[in-house]
Structure 1
């Protein structure tokens, strides 16, 4: 399968619901995208609404990967910096690939599409993201060209007694 990526698709109820469903599916499969399983789309909805509001205000861009049937199977939010000294890089948030597609190259395709999207934006020279330690995600991002630039030990509390590092990764685009 090869996903087709679109930056800034029109957001309608179907797209919103597909993103919510994907977010819940990724979380419930153990993905570290801001929630801990079990979670329902309704529990995620307020976070997605905040992301969509940020989009309408011009603070972020949505990248969506759809399969041949037009179903959302991957997403990432490219969030712009508002601080005048940091406008040359952006954050990549909510990087998700349908668990059914993992291991098939679609994650790498999503990361390449995100880098291409960031390069298309005026003045963007780098992408930063964070990932949760303990899952090997930093290795995936390193294989996509990112470099670990910082780590805060035990910054993420998944559950009592289960603290994980918050790992900062950077991809220079120039």
Structure 2
């Protein structure tokens, strides 16, 4: 049984801050969330560790304090969820960032881990990265726009039929924004 304690948060700002064990936990979470139907970058479950590992390695290799951070939610030392906050350094858009791969481990679902993680990421984006806005893209048909809406995000547009999950299942990509932070 998992603890009912509130999560503790940790940031990974550089690839040297993540060891093999933590990398494995992140990959395991990504596999389990994907295979539970989570919209976290792998649309065709089931996925394997071998499929997820290259994406995780790329994400980790691109970590940089100013441009890309992983925010972890830990409960009793166990990874309960994570997300990635990124910014483009180009001066025209450097005032806003994007949130990617928001996920809570299926073992910890229903405990507010995702909302707590998003609220913590909001503080990180504002106070540490100096961002003024956060953007994200969500897959339609999953109710994600309502979850993010409860956290203050507003729908700012859609890309109709942009995501093809199968020959008969095209989904909109919902563009959302949170401002001010």
Query: Smaller-chain TM-score range?
Result: over 0.9
Normalised by the length of structure 2, the TM-score is 0.90
Normalised by the length of structure 1, the TM-score is 0.94
Within 5 Å, give how 1:113-124 maps onto structure 2.
Answer: 113-124=120-131
Q: How many residues align?
A: 173
Task: Say which SS state the counterpart of residue 135 (structure 1) adopts.
Answer: coil
For residue 65 of structure 1, what is the aligned residue in structure 2?
Answer: 73
Within 5 Å, give how 1:16-95 maps onto structure 2.
Answer: 16-35=23-42, 36-56=44-64, 59-68=67-76, 70-95=77-102
Could you list the runs of 5+ residues in structure 1 that have no partner in the other structure?
none
Q: Does 1:5 align with 2:9?
A: yes
| Cα pair 1:115 1:173 within 8 Å, conserved | no
Residues of 2 paired with 1:158 and 1:58: CA distance?
34
Residues of 1 paired with 2:105 and 2:69: CA distance?
20
| Cα pair 1:67 1:73 within 8 Å, conserved | yes
Task: Say which SS state the counterpart of residue 110 (structure 2) adopts.
Answer: coil
Range with greater deviation from structure 2 (79-88 or 23-32): 79-88
Deviations 1:72-106 (A, max 9, x none): 11101111113220000001001110122222211
Q: Does 1:170 align with 2:174?
A: no
CA RMSD, aligned part only?
A: 1.5
| Cα pair 2:66 2:129 within 8 Å, conserved | no
| Cα pair 2:162 2:172 within 8 Å, conserved | yes
| Cα pair 1:119 1:173 within 8 Å, conserved | no
Could you list the runs of 5+ residues in structure 2 that have no partner in the other structure?
none
